[in-house]
Structure 1
Amino acid sequence: MKHLLVYFTKTLHLNPLFKELVEEKLKEYRLYVDEYIVLDVNTANLDFFINLQDSKYTHISIITEESSFCIVNKFLATMNESELIQSDDDFILKDNLKYQNSSLLIKLNDKFVNILKAKDYFLPEFLYEDTMMNVFYILDDDFDGVNVILNTQAKPYGVKVYVFNLFNGLICVNIFKEKFSHLDGFMQSVRALFDKKIIEEINVFSFILNKLKEKNKTITFAESCTAGALVNEFSKLDGCSNILMASVVTYSVNSKKQWLKIDDYCANNVYSNECTIAMAKGALALTKADYAISTTGLLGKDDFNEIKSGDVFICVANNEKNISKKLKLNSSRALMQKECALACAVLLLDFDKELFFNE
């Protein structure tokens, strides 16, 4: 599956928040953008749309505004020798697969084309079927072994498998259906092979939230180097208020001492497993949650004594036990924060496998 995203707008493609909205919506439909194009509203012509017929893409999403939505429909009607009909306040291509709330889905030769009329921060729903691609995760350190097993297993079922390491211990699997694929059969075989290791949701944090909600458990966070990146992953999800007790960002040593009650040793060794354990215990005492996750480390460009840039310490704890881990990260500051949040999710899943993987 090859996906082209086209911005046929005067100003919306310049708005970074709107572009983030588009990306989030596409993720819901398991669509990745292979290429995106900004089309000049003033100079666009029919030739561009004619060329789309012979392009390599199977799915083409065109983001328009009110005026350009009409232009696209006129071009496509001319190409297909079709008619325009009025629906709601729009003139749309008569030969369409579906039209719903300013979103139109058509078939252009063998390609699906979805035209969406956006406005300010309103983006209509994409109308693609959400079953064209499946995403799931496997908790396993043996990437090469998992890759071989999945690709071997996929052949009899006629599906294409793309496997990559999202983070050490967390393998992301993308499954693309072919014309005669038997996806259900493939997934049944994967469940049998990777029992209690498979996460069948597109979002790992959503999987955790749903399991905690199901088991009536709560969680809290004490973050330093991630500065709220971890709790942000959960707060973006519907239902987070059912499981999220509180979160503190204790960036300074003083805030760690005052809010989380870490001792002098941890205060003098904030980049350590001992400190992150103390932070998690302090968060549990502060909020009375069932689980706590804490982070501390060095994400700046410079090293600090024996601590190197990218050295991060994370901990998961409950009232009975705790587990901590040192990470070695090497990327931009923002990406390291996201990687750390993901590592915390993996550590939590490993911390209580009975809760997350037993029915």
Structure 2
Amino acid sequence: MKHLLFILGDEILANSNFKNYIYRAYEKKFKEINEIKIQNKTDKDLPFLLEDLMQKYDFITIFSSFEYYPTVAKILATLNEDNLILDENTLVPSKSFYEKDSFMIEFLTCKINVLKIQINHTIPNLIGDISLNFKHFCLFGIDNESAILLLETLTKSYEVKIKVTQLLEHINLVKVSSSQYGKLESFLKSVQNLFGQKFFLGKDPIEFISKKLLDKNMKISFAESCTGGLCAAKITQFSGISQIFEGSIVSYSNRLKHEWLGISEDILENNGAYSEKCIYFMLKGIFKTAKPDFALAISGIADKEDIKEHKAGTIYIGAMFKDGTYIQEILYLKGDREFIKEQAVLGAFCLMLKLKPEIFEF
């Protein structure tokens, strides 16, 4: 089913935080963002544009700014040979299904949900559903080419199509969609049997890992340098996470690495903050402070400038379990500062899958 996210209004576009809120709400409802159209204001061509879009999509969700909402409602009512009524101080087409600040109108081949958006207010309920013929899963510990080769041996038997995206080296996101007679669930079961612990459902490895930790009531904490608390920010996206996350340490300077994490000045001077030895003692230090089940540590250069013998994008990551077992890696990442930080955090979380795969078995 083809669906479209349509944002209308320059006020929304100017507020990037609120726009991202819209994206999250939409993706939570429909499991993916299929296509996006953005327009900063209404114009005389909007009725013709909406008619054209109705021919191309099965479902359209329009997030309209408060200013342009009455115009959109009037155009859709006219196209559906309907009248507008005022209910709960909101104009809606009389034939539509509606809630506060949100209505859904049906045309012959398309449904349209229009939401009246006020900046820095809660987004109204998204109305209506689409038929999902796809699912996402991740494969861990296998390269992109091998993943595609092995998956394609199954696709013909189950009449499904796959699209593989590499999130990080040896971490692949797969979208599988079925034809009319495709056997989606049977395909997923076969993939699980084929890949075992390398397979888990969903498109976000950090969400999968965090929920597994919640299910098992296993605590986690972080010692971060170049990522500036991004590990903590990522895990606190999920409801109930305070049960397993008490806090972490962000230490950029060597002084605080020494004072807060207990790393000796000798190690910091001789090995440097960008070293496997430093990561090891960052892990040990967070265990002394927080006493979690898992600890993650990150240090490196998330910037475009090289520092001494270390190239930009060189990131040291480590994970340790409470029994003392640990694993470390060096990532060589490319991109801007924010992208490198995001990739470093993803890589650090996924170290836990390598360190204790039995805990995260799907």
TM-score normalized by the length of structure 1: 0.90
2:353 aligns to what?
Answer: 349
1:292 aligns to what?
Answer: 295
Conserved in 2, the CA contact under 8 Å of 1:266 and 1:278? no
Residues 140, 154 of structure 1: alpha-carbon distance in 2 compared, 3 angstrom cutoff: same
Paired AA for residue 142 in structure 2: D
1 CA distance for matches of 2:89 and 2:188?
A: 43
Structural mapping, 1:70-219, within 5 Å: 70-84=70-84, 87-96=87-96, 98-121=97-120, 122-129=122-129, 132=132, 133-219=134-220
Matched, 1:238 2:239: yes
1:315 aligns to what?
Answer: 318
SS at 2:38 equivalent:
strand
Of residues 35-44 and 254-263 in structure 1, the stretch that sits farther from structure 2 once superposed is 35-44
2 CA distance for matches of 1:65 and 1:219?
A: 41
- State the Cα distance separating 1:120 from its structure 2 match: 1.9
Paired AA for residue 350 in structure 1: K
1:257 aligns to what?
Answer: 258
Of residues 173-182 and 304-313 in structure 1, the stretch that sits farther from structure 2 once superposed is 173-182
- State the Cα distance separating 1:63 from its structure 2 match: 0.8
- State the Cα distance separating 1:256 from its structure 2 match: 0.3
Matched, 1:303 2:302: no
Gaps of 5+ in 1: none
Residues 14, 290 of structure 1: alpha-carbon distance in 2 compared, 3 angstrom cutoff: same
Residues 313, 130 of structure 1: alpha-carbon distance in 2 compared, 3 angstrom cutoff: farther
Of residues 347-356 and 156-165 in structure 1, the stretch that sits farther from structure 2 once superposed is 156-165
SS at 2:343 equivalent:
helix
1 CA distance for matches of 2:86 and 2:182?
A: 38
Residues 176, 72 of structure 1: alpha-carbon distance in 2 compared, 3 angstrom cutoff: farther
Residues 12, 140 of structure 1: alpha-carbon distance in 2 compared, 3 angstrom cutoff: same
2 CA distance for matches of 1:232 and 1:280?
A: 19
2 CA distance for matches of 1:327 and 1:10?
A: 39
Conserved in 2, the CA contact under 8 Å of 1:284 and 1:318? no
- State the Cα distance separating 1:85 from its structure 2 match: 5.0
SS at 2:217 equivalent:
coil
Deviations 1:266-322 (A, max 9, x none): 312111111111101100111111111000111222222221111110010123211
2 CA distance for matches of 1:154 and 1:85?
A: 50
TM-score normalized by the length of structure 2: 0.90
- State the Cα distance separating 1:174 from its structure 2 match: 1.5
Conserved in 2, the CA contact under 8 Å of 1:3 and 1:35? no
Matched, 1:5 2:8: no
Residues 180, 71 of structure 1: alpha-carbon distance in 2 compared, 3 angstrom cutoff: farther
1 CA distance for matches of 2:298 and 2:211?
A: 23
1:338 to 337, 342, 345: 342
Taking every aligned residue pair, what percent have the same amino acid on both sides?
27
- State the Cα distance separating 1:58 from its structure 2 match: 4.1
Conserved in 1, the CA contact under 8 Å of 2:318 and 2:327? yes
Number of equivalent positions = 356
